[in-house]
Structures are given as C-alpha cells and as structure tokens.
Structure 1
Amino acid sequence: MEPALLALIVIVVLALAFDFINGFHDTANAIATSVATKVLTPAQAITMSAVLNVVGALTGTAVAKTISKDIIPQEYATLELVGATLVSAIAWNLFTWWKGLPSSSSHALVFSMVGAGVAAGGWSIIIPKGVNKTLTGLVSSPVLGFIVPILLMFLLSWLVLRWMKPRLVTRNFRVLQIFSAAFMAFSHGGNDAQKTMGIITFALGAYFGVKYETVPTWVILSAAAAMGAGTAVGGWRIIKTMGFKVVDLKPVDGFVAETSAALIIETASRLGIPVSTTHTISTAIMGVGTTKGFRKVKWQVAGRIVQAWIFTLPVCIALGWLAHKLILAAGL
C-alpha cells in the first residue's frame, strides 16, 4: 500500500474518531436537561439522542462545505495539515471531557485547522470569509442562546403559565420536554456531524487533487454513524456539569432551554455556519436560570465554562500549529 493512501486511511479513521468523541463529549448538549429534570432516564435519553443525532446528520451539508472550502483553499490541502488538525482537536476534546468542561468541539476543529494552516503556509492562506463566519457563530449563538430563552419563558408565562396550576405545568412540560430534547438531539447531529464530513472531504481533495463540490455519500453515512455511536456511549462528566451544576432545572425550564437552543442551531446549520452546540445550550440554561433570579445561577460554574470557551481558540491554534510541525519533523 502506498504511503499516501495509508495516510489517507489513517486520517479518515482519525476524523471518525473525532466524530465519535464529539458524540460522547457533546451528548450532554441534547440530554442533560431532560436527565436533570428526571423526564428521561440517562439510558432513555442517550438512546433517543443517538438515533436523532444520526437522523440530523443526514439532513444537509452546508456546514460541511464551509469546513472543506471556506477555511483553507483546497490547493493548500495536504494530508499532514488535515492530520495535524484532527490530532489537535481530538487532544483538546479529550482534555476538556476529562475536566468535565463543556467546550466547543466545533471551534476546536476549525481553529486547529487554522493553526495547522498557518504552520503550512502562513496567515495569508487562511480564508477570512470562513473564519469570520465561524466567529460570527461563536459570538452570536451564545448571545442568542442567553436571550431567546428569557424571551420565550416570559412569553410562556404570560400566555400559559400564569393560568396553570404548578402541578399541571410540571405534568404537561414533562411530556413537551421529551420533544424538545429530541429536537435538540436532531439539531446537534445536523450541525456537528457535518464538521467531520467537511474535514474528510478536505482530506480526499488533498489526496486526489480535486475540488469536491458535494460531500460523498459514504462520508455522510460514516460521519452520521460515528456520531451516533459516540452519543450512545454517553458523557456523564459533562452531563453532570450541564444538567446539575449550573442551575436547578424543572421540566418547563428544560423545554425552554432545549427549544431555544435547537432553533438557533438548526438555523445556523441551514446557513452553513458551524456553531457550538455546547455554547448555545449552556447559555440557554443560564438564560432560563436568570428568569428565576440571578442568584439561582451558579455563576462560578458558569465562569469555568466561559473560560473553556475563551481558551479553545488560542490553544487550538497553537496545538494545530505544533502538531503540523511535529508531523513534518517526524516525516509522517
């Protein structure tokens, strides 16, 4: 087997490993609130999330095209660059999972790619359009994630909650939260799995020396399956942080947080914007918490989450740059 083909196979395996890790790292995004409110058991929530992650991953490729075409030009694509990107993103994902920090797998991948690209050809080869699109998602998704659930909660309170007895609120929203958790899982698969599709397509372009206008079907199916499998494994460390340590949640709170976050993520997916599902649901939970009073949110835990977000960009750029240099030095 020729070395370049072997390297391509290794990169595809690494990409699917990243997708798998993304699945169990970000399982909390879809199920933490429904587990915390006891609407679903962890086993039920993980199973539902795994299935809908796969379904969501099959619904579009706009984000994949952003990753494969709008960050680094295809003519600069090399297997070393893609390999460095994946090694960096996987390392950061595993570190933040170990620490129980809900950081962004999406931004870990994109900015690891930026770092590897800088190592390969300098800042001049980075496409501002794609990076700006990612940064737009980085800023807007958590801001909207915080604001939208506050507005939705006030709207629900005015239209429904003030007329309904607390016991009926809990009973009705226990059912509705199952649907909102399902919507969240679907939107998560739709946005996050596409990043892996994009990086594999980018690697295929580097190997074959062609520009792919569409994502190959086998790439879509394998990325969807890898994310579903990772989600099935779960990610209890981050589930505990998201569901139990930020704010005390009730079914109506979980419904509002999940519905708001899923709407934002699904919109971003259709626009081809790679957003952080972690950022979005985290701030949605915080937004819901503030409707109960600022003291109800455990801001110290929220601060640790924000720190992980802030560090992801420079750390992953540095890790991507370093991984590329090490791969070239090792002659891999």
Structure 2
Amino acid sequence: MDPSLIVIVVVVAALAFDFTNGFHDTANAMATSIATGALKPRIAVAISAVLNLVGAFLSIEVAKTISGGIVDDTKVTPAIVFAGLVGAIVWNLLTWLLGLPSSSSHALFGGLIGATWVGVGADAVHFSTIVSKILIPAVASPIVAGIVAVAGTFLVYRITASARQDTVSKSFKTAQALSASLVSLAHGTSDGQKTMGVITLTLIASGSLAAGSTPPLWVIIVSGVAIAAGTYLGGWRIIQTMGKKITEIETPQGFAAETSAAVTILASSHLGFALSTTHVCSGGIIGSGVGRKLDEVRWGVAGRMVLAWLFTLPAAAIVGAVASEAASTGSVGTILVGVVGVAIAVAVYLLSRRNPVTASNVNDTAPAAPAAAAA
C-alpha cells in the first residue's frame, strides 16, 4: 500500500477512535447531572462537547506520553498503529453495546502495545513507562477520587443537614452543572490528547515528523473536533449505567463526585499521566455513594465495572496483536483488518438498534431491578 495512503487511513481510523471515545465517555462528565435533573440530557451533552473541544487545546503532556512514551516511535510503522486502533475501536464498541463504562484510554494503550509487540518485538514497548504512567495511575486514580468524594459527600450532608431539602437540591443543581462542566473540560485535556498522540506517532513513523515532535496544530484541531462530535452524540447506555445503576445520585453527591474527578484528572493531565477518566469518574461516583450511605452502592454493578477494567487492556492488546499479524502480511492484510473492523462496527450498531437507549429514555430504567443492573 502506498505510504501516504496508509498514513491517511491511520489518521481516519484515529479520528474514528476519537469519535467512539467521545460517545463512550460522555457519561464520565454528565451521567450524574442527568440523573439528578441538574441538566437536561441534550443540553448536558452539548455543553460537554464544547468543553471537550476547548480542553483539547489546554495541554499536550498526555499526547507526548502517547506519541513517544509507550512505544518506540522509531520502530513502529503506520500499519502497526492502524492495527492497534482497530483493537481499541472494537473493544470500545463492544463495551458500549453492553453499557459498561470501561476505559477508552486503556483500550487504546492495549491495542498499541499488542500491535507493537507482535509487529516489531517486545523491545519496542516501553514497559517502565507503561507501569509508571498508566498502570500505577490506573490503580491510584479511582481510589484517590473515591476518597475525596467520600469526604466531600460526608461534609456536604453534614453542613446541609438542618437546611430545607428542596433548597439544598436546587442550590446544588447549579453547582453540579458547573462541576460537570469542569469534568468535561478536564476530559478534553486528557482523552482529547490521546488521539493527538496517536496521529503524531503515525506521522513520526512515516517520516513526516522528526522523532520526539509534538502534535501540529491541525492534529490538535481535528482531534478536538472528533471527540467533541462523539460526545454530542451521547453514550446513553453508559450514561444510564453510571447515572442510575451504581448508586442513587442526589445533587450534593453529584457535585462531590464530579469535583473530585475533575481535580484528579486535571492534576494528572498536567503531569502527563495517561490515566482513565472512566476509572476516575466511576471512583468518584462510588465514593459519593459510600459518603452518603454505604449500602447505597450497588456493589454487584461496581464489581462488573472493575472486571471490565481488568480485561480492557489485555483484551484490546489481543485484538491489536491479531490485527498487527494480519497487517504485517502487506496491503491485503491491512485491507482485511479494515474490512473486519468495519464489519464489527456495523454488527454492533445493528445489535444496538434492537434495544435502543436514547436521550428520552436514559433515566427510565428502574435502578433497583436486578435485570436492569445486569443489562
């Protein structure tokens, strides 16, 4: 395949991943605000989309971690990056279909690691960076966000205990709209940069940019627009899980959960940690449930989420490795990978239409019902 053509294919695939990242992760910022009625669903995703776009311009530290930290940018090829993206997209779509708030970030990391390992060998994978910048933050970030949310929720309820509940609810709806917006901005500074890093890695691998280069302006713009567009589409299935099935959310809880998540994400983005915003926001929601009342958390749903988190990186790595093996055979193999990826995407979409979850019915599911928790 012509070198310039494969670069175009990879850029398109990267933007497709960015789009799936947007609708997969809309719930991170807006699920609790929609659940409490602080924001209407369509208004919530519109605000989130705009702020995701703005956030993409605020930092490039995470993008640099992706483009030159996880794998050796002098050894990978555009075909390997393409294979890794297919692994990430397939996992994103499958978990979206199941309504599981798994990590788009870890799907991307896993796909790239698996594809690179099979394509050019384990020595091209920077395992020390993976441990320090990905795995340790993956474990620590939801715990930190959860602890902050526990403390914040406990304090909020103690402070407002003697106040009229309707006044408290109304006041915190406004506060929650602001905190949700901050999460969206933080999401743009974190997840918005990951596709920038992938496209930059592809341009370096093709020789279009020198090793160690930062994302060009056009890469920042198209990546920001893609994740914003996906966010506006709305990942209603995952919004339903995070907003209604983990715990019953009240406005003070939502405010505490969102504020803890936003602070954690912004701090990590500044340091270049490529953490999962899904892990952080889920940790904040669980923490808010614990802070209000321990038995308010549906631990079965939380356990399924954690299980999905554990499988995400290796599952995407396996798909990326298989795709890389096929793509390494040449143009025919690369085309085959693309065709199979599109076929899976179409199949997932058709399956999703059999049981659609839309903005109008996102909060209709009764969270206490066992069948809903297992959906």
Same fold (TM over 0.5): yes
SS of alignment partner, residue 292 of structure 2 = coil
- Correspondence 1:241-320 to 2 at 5 A: 241-320=241-320
- TM-score, reference length from structure 1: 0.96
- Counterpart AA for 1:325: E
In 2, are the aligned partners of 1:23 and 1:230 still within 8 Å (CA)?
A: yes
- Correspondence 1:36-55 to 2 at 5 A: 36-55=35-54
In 2, are the aligned partners of 1:70 and 1:129 still within 8 Å (CA)?
A: no
Q: Partner of 2:28 in structure 1? A: 29
Q: Residue 301 of structure 1: CA displacement? A: 1.1
Q: Residue 34 of structure 1: CA displacement? A: 0.4
- Counterpart AA for 1:200: I
- Correspondence 1:129-140 to 2 at 5 A: 129-132=128-131, 133-140=133-140
Determine the C-alpha separation between the residues in 2 that align with 1:43 and 1:128: 41
SS of alignment partner, residue 206 of structure 2 = helix
- Counterpart AA for 1:225: V
In 1, are the aligned partners of 2:67 and 2:200 still within 8 Å (CA)?
A: yes
Q: CA RMSD in A?
A: 1.3
Q: Partner of 1:171 in structure 2? A: 170
In 2, are the aligned partners of 1:201 and 1:212 still within 8 Å (CA)?
A: no
- Counterpart AA for 1:201: T
- Counterpart AA for 1:56: G
Per-residue CA shift, 1:190-225, capped at 9, x if unaligned? 100100000000000011162142210000011000
Determine the C-alpha separation between the residues in 2 that align with 1:73 and 1:188: 26
In 1, are the aligned partners of 2:63 and 2:196 still within 8 Å (CA)?
A: yes
Q: Residue 163 of structure 1: CA displacement? A: 4.6
Q: Residue 310 of structure 1: CA displacement? A: 0.7
Determine the C-alpha separation between the residues in 1 that align with 2:297 and 2:139: 21
- Counterpart AA for 2:166: R
Moved more, 17-26 or 72-81: 72-81
- Correspondence 1:89-238 to 2 at 5 A: 89-132=88-131, 133-158=133-158, 160-208=159-207, 210-238=210-238
Number of residue equivalences: 330
- Counterpart AA for 2:282: S
Determine the C-alpha separation between the residues in 2 that align with 1:307 and 1:21: 21
Is 1:10 equivalent to 2:16 in the alignment? no
Q: Partner of 1:88 in structure 2? A: 87
Q: Residue 331 of structure 1: CA displacement? A: 4.1
Determine the C-alpha separation between the residues in 2 that align with 1:124 and 1:274: 21
Q: Partner of 2:369 in structure 1? A: none
In 2, are the aligned partners of 1:145 and 1:281 still within 8 Å (CA)?
A: yes
In 1, are the aligned partners of 2:156 and 2:252 still within 8 Å (CA)?
A: no
In 1, are the aligned partners of 2:200 and 2:213 still within 8 Å (CA)?
A: no
SS of alignment partner, residue 74 of structure 1 = coil
Determine the C-alpha separation between the residues in 1 that align with 2:64 and 2:137: 16
Determine the C-alpha separation between the residues in 2 that align with 1:313 and 1:49: 26
Q: Residue 277 of structure 1: CA displacement? A: 0.8
In 2, are the aligned partners of 1:257 and 1:285 still within 8 Å (CA)?
A: yes
Determine the C-alpha separation between the residues in 2 that align with 1:34 and 1:54: 20
Q: Partner of 2:65 in structure 1? A: 66
Question: Does 1 or 2 have the higher relative contact order (CA < 8 Å, sep 6+)?
Answer: 1
Determine the C-alpha separation between the residues in 1 that align with 2:302 and 2:309: 11
- Counterpart AA for 2:180: A
In 2, are the aligned partners of 1:51 and 1:228 still within 8 Å (CA)?
A: yes
SS of alignment partner, residue 75 of structure 1 = coil
Determine the C-alpha separation between the residues in 2 that align with 1:306 and 1:259: 22
Determine the C-alpha separation between the residues in 1 that align with 2:153 and 2:40: 25
Determine the C-alpha separation between the residues in 2 that align with 1:212 and 1:75: 9
In 1, are the aligned partners of 2:19 and 2:230 still within 8 Å (CA)?
A: yes
Determine the C-alpha separation between the residues in 2 that align with 1:58 and 1:220: 7
Determine the C-alpha separation between the residues in 1 that align with 2:276 and 2:295: 26
In 1, are the aligned partners of 2:157 and 2:252 still within 8 Å (CA)?
A: no
- Counterpart AA for 2:230: G
Q: Which runs of 5+ in 1 are unaligned?
A: none
Moved more, 294-303 or 37-46: 294-303
In 2, are the aligned partners of 1:77 and 1:205 still within 8 Å (CA)?
A: no
Determine the C-alpha separation between the residues in 2 that align with 1:165 and 1:33: 22
Moved more, 319-328 or 9-18: 319-328
Q: Residue 117 of structure 1: CA displacement? A: 1.3
In 2, are the aligned partners of 1:198 and 1:215 still within 8 Å (CA)?
A: yes
SS of alignment partner, residue 44 of structure 2 = helix
